[in-house]
Amino acid sequence: MADNVESGVLKEYEKLKNLFQDYTQINNTISILHNDQQISMSPGSAPDRAEQMGALSKIAHRLINAPEIKDLLEKVEAAPSESFSKEDQRNIKLMRKIVAEQNISEDLSTAISNICNEGWEKHTKLRDAGDWSQMKDWIQHSVDTMREVGRDKKERLGFASAYEALLDTFNTGMKAGHVAQELGKMEKSLPGLIREAAQKQKEEKPPVAFSGTFPKEQQEELCRRVLEAMGFDFNRGRLDFISGHPSSGGTSDDTRLTTFYDEKNFFKALIAAIHEGGHGIYNQTLPREWRYQPAGEPLGMDLHESQSRIMEVQAAMTPEFFEYLEIQARDIFNRPDDPALSAENMRKLRQTVAPSFIRVYADEITYSAHIILRHKLESALIEGTLTAEDLPQAWNDGMKNLLGITPPDHSQGCMQDVHWPSGAIGYFPAYTLGDMGAAQFFAAACKDRPEIRSELKTGNFKPLQEWLEENVHSKGSLLTTEEIFVQATGKKLGADDYLNHLSERYLGKPYTAPVSAPILPQQKTPEIN
Ligand SMILES: [Zn+2]
């Protein structure tokens, strides 16, 4: 290509990058406004804030759908690939993906935002009473609309199915078949693992429960110390205690974390702070040279969740971490002799296995069972092999099979989550893919840097943090999820390391796959009428 043509294309690419920078900045501003709403805005200001965020969303939508962006993108894509570095080529590919995803008909776009807004409201209003007759039609409406969204995305972007297209919204590049295969492995093994772990714990001395109160200011101090040890940069971020649900948001240089708290149990604030801190550190250490570009953004929710869970359930549930926590907790709460604060006791409290109905309160090992069930049901709903009419029964059957318990009512059953009523179908697998990823990264990191675990005894997260920055955070979206896993761990994201981790932690032995039941000689099955 002639030099002047090449420099023309590079100029066009620069223009495109500037437009994407504006687009990212608008979305970042929405995130900061959202965080401000949670931590400091007065409740009466909510309608005003909704207007502000709505206006910004409209501007972002208009910007990304502007003919100028489409025109520039087409020109840049038409240039020979060697005009751009490998990283720029990846950035251009991601630009196209964002434009294609945002470029949906106005009808569908309105339908999605209606389901999201109305769904949240309906769920908040109806959940506690658990009246399915009032929720059933709405869930079917949400499923039907999201199926249409999935089909539309499938046609335009070439996914294998409508469900895979929806899955991709939250788990970039994840194939539906691969997710089904890995969750299928877990489904086979988990019920046995849970039973064995619960049985083993029954035979042990139970842990001592926390007693008395743990003042809020002291809990704040503990969370701050632990987050600083983890590597969260308070100079470019903050943590607030709120009454609502914990979250992380903001931008790389203004990372906002929130946690809730319970005066009787400091684990509640601490665990959520560690979880959100893992998300926050990922945001803070994304590649600076790609800031505000698609290639510099975090990858999907599955990878994001692996970064929160590697802190929360891998590092911060090791016996070594509890040694560090004991010293900090005794010091901050001034309880030198409280038996509940011994490292071993806190480990036992954190690792108690007990099947329960509500996903968000589930322990580490039973949590995935809740996700396996939701993945099966939501994919069947989108495929149309299950309807909202039959959902409660399918839910209860699944709970019985996976966890051996049946919810007493729908509020503790199929009406507990906000995801389906608000249209977030395809989201749930991100939680367990995140757990699998966390286990896989942690195993690889400990192999590369054997001092990782022993250093946690003194709260030194540096070796782990350095490994994560080098192998995950600094990659942003420059590589695909699969490439990140293969380069960092030598294999694709899968269930094996996670199952091994659960077996080592809860049963004290390496994982062995369950032996299938012996095949009996075929008998003639009587006709069922
Ligand atoms: Zn999370």
Least confident of 125-129, 143-147, 309-313, 317-321: 125-129
Residue 379: the pLDDT is: 98
Between 120 and 208, residue with greater pLDDT: 208
264 pLDDT more than 80: yes
CA of 272 to the centre of ligand 1 (A): 9
Q: Which ranges of 318-450 does DSSP label H, i.e. alpha helix?
A: 319-333, 343-350, 364-383, 391-403, 429-448
The rounded distance, in Å, linking the Cα atoms of 324 and 317 is 11
> What integer is the mean pLDDT of 206-215?
98
523 pLDDT more than 90: no
Which distant-in-sequence residues (6+ apart) come within 8 Å of 55 by Cβ?
none
CA of 275 to the centre of ligand 1 (A): 6
Half-sphere exposure of 515 (CA within 13 A, CB side): 3
> What integer is the mean pLDDT of 448-476?
98
CA of 71 to the centre of ligand 1 (A): 37
Residue 520: the pLDDT is: 43
> What integer is the mean pLDDT of 11-23?
97
pLDDT tens track for 367-391: 999 999 999 999 999 999 999 999 9
CA of 496 to the centre of ligand 1 (A): 22
Q: Any idea which fold 3-103 has? A: Methane Monooxygenase Hydroxylase; Chain G, domain 1 (1.20.58)
Residue 526: the pLDDT is: 33
Which is it for strands 247-251 and 237-241: parallel, antiparallel or unpaired? unpaired
CA of 79 to the centre of ligand 1 (A): 40
Residue 29: the pLDDT is: 94
pLDDT tens track for 152-196: 999 988 999 999 999 999 999 999 999 999 999 999 999 999 999
CA of 311 to the centre of ligand 1 (A): 11
CA of 143 to the centre of ligand 1 (A): 24
Least confident of 114-118, 217-221, 410-414: 114-118
CA of 388 to the centre of ligand 1 (A): 28
> What integer is the mean pLDDT of 51-77?
93
Least confident of 269-283, 416-430, 506-520: 506-520
Q: Is the distance from CB of 308 to CB of 176 less than 8 angstroms? A: no
Residue 124: the pLDDT is: 85
Between 462 and 51, residue with greater pLDDT: 462
pLDDT band, residue 3 (cuts 50/70/90):
low
CA of 78 to the centre of ligand 1 (A): 39
Q: Is the distance from CB of 449 to CB of 442 less than 8 angstroms? A: no
Residue 287: the pLDDT is: 97
Tell the burial category of 217 from Cβ atoms under 10 Å away from its Cβ (0-12, 13-18, 19+): exposed
pLDDT band, residue 4 (cuts 50/70/90):
low
517 pLDDT more than 70: no
* Tokens 């003042």 found at: 215
> What integer is the mean pLDDT of 466-482?
97
Q: Where are the domains of the chain?
A: 3-103, 216-352+432-483
CA of 250 to the centre of ligand 1 (A): 14
* Tokens 């249409």 found at: 148
Task: Collect contacts of 121-130 with beta carbons under 8 A, ≥24 apart.
Answer: 122/421, 123/415, 123/418, 123/421, 123/422, 124/418, 126/415, 127/411, 127/415, 127/416, 128/411, 129/411, 130/409, 130/410, 130/411, 130/412, 130/413, 130/415
Residue 498: the pLDDT is: 98
CA of 308 to the centre of ligand 1 (A): 6
58: which 2 tokens? 């409209």
453 pLDDT more than 80: yes
pLDDT band, residue 516 (cuts 50/70/90):
low
> What integer is the mean pLDDT of 497-519?
86
CA of 434 to the centre of ligand 1 (A): 9
- C-alpha R_g of the chain: 24
230 pLDDT more than 60: yes
pLDDT band, residue 110 (cuts 50/70/90):
confident
Residue 94: the pLDDT is: 95
**Average pLDDT of the chain, as a whole number:** 93
Which is it for strands 247-251 and 254-259: parallel, antiparallel or unpaired? antiparallel
The answer to whether the 3-103 and 216-352+432-483 domains have the same CATH topology is: no
CA of 302 to the centre of ligand 1 (A): 9
CA of 256 to the centre of ligand 1 (A): 13
CA of 300 to the centre of ligand 1 (A): 12
Between 103 and 283, residue with greater pLDDT: 283
Q: Is the distance from CB of 259 to CB of 272 less than 8 angstroms? A: yes
Burial 513-529 (b: 16+ CB within 10 A, else e): eeeeeeeeeeeeeeeee
What percent of the chain stands above pLDDT 70?
Answer: 96
522 pLDDT more than 60: no
pTM: 0.93
Residue 141: the pLDDT is: 97
* Tokens 């999605």 found at: 112
257 pLDDT more than 60: yes
What percent of the chain stands above pLDDT 90?
Answer: 83
**Domain 216-352+432-483, CATH class in plain words:** mainly alpha
